[in-house]
């Protein structure tokens, strides 16, 4: 059974930094494509970033160099480093396994990031 | 950037058929995926690659895609199908539609 468990969210001041984690079981993070998707309160889903099995990474345009996706193969864990946080980054952040045609077939329960002073 | 357009809401009576559309420029040339999201829960993939269903998804959920419109069809709608539904494609990055709230 595939399980993805996110952690690391919380209340952070504007301009701050946060590292989100996604611990995986039932799949191998380094062998799969893995994405982050976020959802602002009361809003729709928004794709954030992907890391391919080969290590190539891509980001949504709004990231503008502030986010970094990475993984620790020994811990089978995916990460999202978020810097220069803004109020509009407030959202639930989900990690998701990504199929080869871009669908998200397994999702974590999400971790809430609240950016506020 | 690629844009997907969904109606904000769809209402249907129990037992009837719900149709949720997803519009995009020549979307028929892309693989379309659909997600169901209930309040406070993570999204669930209900249809992928236009019309395939993951294991565990009822046959009542089906999809089609042609021209500029993809469609998610839910037959014999049940109260438990009430949720937000999102279409999605991969266009060098993940692209989601704005979501459709299905009211039963």
pLDDT in tens, A78-111: 999 999 999 999 999 999 999 999 999 999 999 9
List chain A residues with CB under 8 Å of B45: 103-105
A67 touches chain B (CB under 8 A): no
- Contact call for A103 and B42, based on CB within 8 A: no
Helix (H, G, I), strand (E, B) or coil at A61: helix
What is the predicted pLDDT for the residue at A64? 85
- B59 to A16, A53, B20, B94, B102: CA distances (angstroms): 47, 32, 16, 26, 18
- B84-102: buried (b, 16+ CB within 10 Å) or exposed (e) per residue? bbbbbbbeebbbbbbbbbb
- Residue A22 near residue A78, CB atoms below 8 Å: yes
- The pLDDT-based confidence of A60 (bands split at 50, 70, 90) is very high
Q: How confident is the model at residue A37 (pLDDT cuts 50, 70, 90)?
A: very high
- Share above pLDDT 70 across residues of chain A, in percent, rounded to a whole number: 100
CA torsion sign for B29, A44, B10, A101 is positive
Mean pLDDT of A68-81: 98
A3 interfaces chain B, CB cutoff of 8 Å: no
**Mean pLDDT, chain A, as a whole number?**
97
- A93 touches A38 (CB < 8 A): yes
| Residues with pLDDT less than 70, chain B | none
């Amino acid at each position: 059974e595939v399980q993805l468990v996110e952690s690391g969210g919380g209340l952070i001041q504007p301009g701050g930094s946060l590292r989100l984690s996604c611990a995986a079981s039932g799949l191998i993070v380094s062998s799969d494509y893995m994405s982050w998707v976020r959802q602002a309160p009361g809003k729709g889903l928004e794709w954030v970033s992907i890391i391919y099995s080969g290590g190539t990474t891509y980001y949504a345009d709004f990231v503008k160099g502030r986010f970094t996706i990475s993984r620790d193969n020994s811990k089978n864990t995916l990460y999202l480093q978020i810097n220069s946080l803004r109020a509009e980054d407030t959202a639930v952040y989900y990690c998701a396994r990504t199929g080869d045609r871009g669908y998200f077939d397994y999702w974590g329960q999400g971790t809430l990031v609240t950016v506020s002073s | 950037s690629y844009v997907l357009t969904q109606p904000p809401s769809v209402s249907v009576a129990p037992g009837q058929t719900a149709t949720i559309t997803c519009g995009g420029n020549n979307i028929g040339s892309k693989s379309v995926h659909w997600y169901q999201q209930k309040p406070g829960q993570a999204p669930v993939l209900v249809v992928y690659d236009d019309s395939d269903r993951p294991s565990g998804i009822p046959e009542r959920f089906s999809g089609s895609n042609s021209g500029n419109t993809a469609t998610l069809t839910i037959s014999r709608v049940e109260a438990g199908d009430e949720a937000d539904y999102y279409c999605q494609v991969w266009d060098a990055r993940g692209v989601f539609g704005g979501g459709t709230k299905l009211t039963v």
